[in-house]
Structure 1
């Protein structure tokens, strides 16, 4: 599978990545056998970028991913994890984690973007995964913690990067505006953009993507199915958009996009995976993969040929926004027509 470098670093990731949140029992139990087999299938398919976080299953995702990769050649794959949520003993457990993961809540998350919190979080992740290093480290959802994240956490990560302890650093969020600030105002190399450059939401055109283009930095796209609405060939009522039931207008728009995809001999989910790659700053699309079957399907979708005429038709029909280069001398900033 083709690899692309995070700009200005030595870290290269495959264009399709394995998102390990679901093997941390996101929403439902994933048997350990399925989790291990999913990682094996991803490896066999050529995927060499794996993303996890302490938040995912209160450490379960990190433990499972580390175990699945333990016997693989370390120099042949890239692992990213995240900092900002320390896992600490839960003094008042109620049985099950309240944040969407089907695991015991003997631990709880504690926000901490301090320098000490970053160092402790990385040390804990290395212990859980059994890895000797992390290739990429993101600040995880620092929406309400800009000052500490920008002034303490990011400098701590930059120091580790400059010491060659970490290969690349950045931030991951479900919004684009603050990610653009991280690119413009901090030492971030890369951002993980969740759901904001998809067939249904191109808001990153206004901030993250111009910043990445101007500064020569990189973007990893996740959440490209917008919580499920773009994951099937034909969207139906009850499908989710950004974790809620999709409103009628977005359902209708997704169906219209699906119809255009059909006229070009492709499908809605294949187009959803391909679309972020139409912007040169986006180097990877990472998808959650719970079972070997999901891995096989996602790889097949990723490998489908998508004719350029599809994007032209979608723009002409007003179903996706148009990218227009900014004035000469002002970088590759884009705006909506």
Structure 2
């Protein structure tokens, strides 16, 4: 079934518009296990048929494999109808000492290796290589990728280089993507960033972004894309259990117990934990998109169905009352709207 795309949301102060649900293409780079090429193609096809028009990738994902596959899958689509984001900071260079398989979680050959580089030249080289791999002449959004240990070069060299490309029309919007929120707030406040990709810091289990990046985005009129909304898996099932992951580690028992308590409140409101986890980021007015990793067409269909489910307004109030989310989490108005369109 085709779904509406009219609910696109603009990255503030730019011409770039994102659908409320985005396609995260890290798994197309064989993250943790092989994704057959036919599954990758079918997943993008299913996302397109469902109305998803925002696709996110990076050179880091499978040493370029994700970009190659996504570019191939989108090649016959009208370029004006979709938005692609990629990232800079990990430049792919020849690997002088290959061991056969990539050591960073992607099941690919390691003929290339990643080299941290947030210099102006590195940014330009990285974008040129991405455009070549994807068969594109422009990117809609480019993020600095995990610049945690590289603030000075990222802020002083990489972001100005991206700003120049944005002004030239090669890029539509620029920003940074990280697993922390404090430095993302600095990028919004101290650089020309339009948007940030916030991983795991505004979820049902972690609302720390309310202390820094979300207020900065609201104050400055900038935008946020939310990823990692399942916190590596703990929020991805109706009933969390021991042994599930939280931020890439085994979830500690107290956190599992809290996730179960949230799941119980969700069930009392006629919904479930994964649905609420996808809807929750949209409660904040600066968050314009939730992007999920999708490996197969079936995962796409499941995620679209979860995203479109109505979340009762009273759920967030009950979670606040029971101390399961912070009392300063905004109301549910934006979240209720997000469930009706992609």
TM range (shorter): over 0.9
1:91-240 mapped onto 2 (5 Å cutoff): 91-240=96-245
C-alpha deviation, 1:205, in angstroms? 0.3
Aligned counterparts of 2:46 and 2:138: Cα–Cα separation in 1: 23
Which position in structure 1 is the counterpart of 2:45? 40
Aligned partner (choices 10, 14, 22) of residue 19 of structure 2: 14
**What TM-score, normalized by structure 2, do the two folds share?**
0.94
Unaligned runs of 5+ in 1: 326-337
Aligned partner (choices 64, 70, 87) of residue 69 of structure 2: 64
Does residue 326 of structure 2 align to residue 316 of structure 1?
no
Does residue 310 of structure 2 align to residue 305 of structure 1?
yes
* TM superposition outliers: structure 1 runs of 4+ over 4 Å: none
**What TM-score, normalized by structure 1, do the two folds share?**
0.96
Which position in structure 2 is the counterpart of 1:75? 80
Aligned counterparts of 1:120 and 1:163: Cα–Cα separation in 2: 16
C-alpha deviation, 1:324, in angstroms? 7.2
SS of corresponding position for 2:311: coil
Aligned counterparts of 1:131 and 1:109: Cα–Cα separation in 2: 22
Aligned counterparts of 2:88 and 2:285: Cα–Cα separation in 1: 27
SS of corresponding position for 2:319: helix
Aligned counterparts of 2:328 and 2:19: Cα–Cα separation in 1: 25
- CA offsets, 1:126-164, max 9 Å, x none? 000111210000000000000000000000000111111
Asked if the contact 2:88/2:123 (under 8 Å) is kept, the reply is yes
SS of corresponding position for 1:109: strand
Does residue 34 of structure 2 align to residue 29 of structure 1?
yes
C-alpha deviation, 1:210, in angstroms? 0.3
C-alpha deviation, 1:165, in angstroms? 1.4
Aligned counterparts of 1:37 and 1:146: Cα–Cα separation in 2: 38
Aligned counterparts of 2:252 and 2:77: Cα–Cα separation in 1: 44
Aligned partner (choices 247, 260, 263) of residue 242 of structure 1: 247
Which position in structure 1 is the counterpart of 2:280? 275
Task: Please tell me the root mean square deviation across aligned C-alpha atoms, in Å.
Answer: 0.8
C-alpha deviation, 1:216, in angstroms? 0.1
Aligned counterparts of 1:127 and 1:7: Cα–Cα separation in 2: 28
SS of corresponding position for 1:219: strand
- CA offsets, 1:259-282, max 9 Å, x none? 000011101000000000000000
Aligned counterparts of 2:137 and 2:168: Cα–Cα separation in 1: 15
Aligned counterparts of 2:327 and 2:156: Cα–Cα separation in 1: 35
Does residue 264 of structure 2 align to residue 259 of structure 1?
yes
Asked if the contact 2:29/2:65 (under 8 Å) is kept, the reply is yes
Aligned counterparts of 1:230 and 1:279: Cα–Cα separation in 2: 19
Aligned counterparts of 1:95 and 1:105: Cα–Cα separation in 2: 6
How many residue pairs were aligned? 325
Asked if the contact 2:68/2:133 (under 8 Å) is kept, the reply is yes
Aligned partner (choices 70, 80, 90) of residue 85 of structure 1: 90
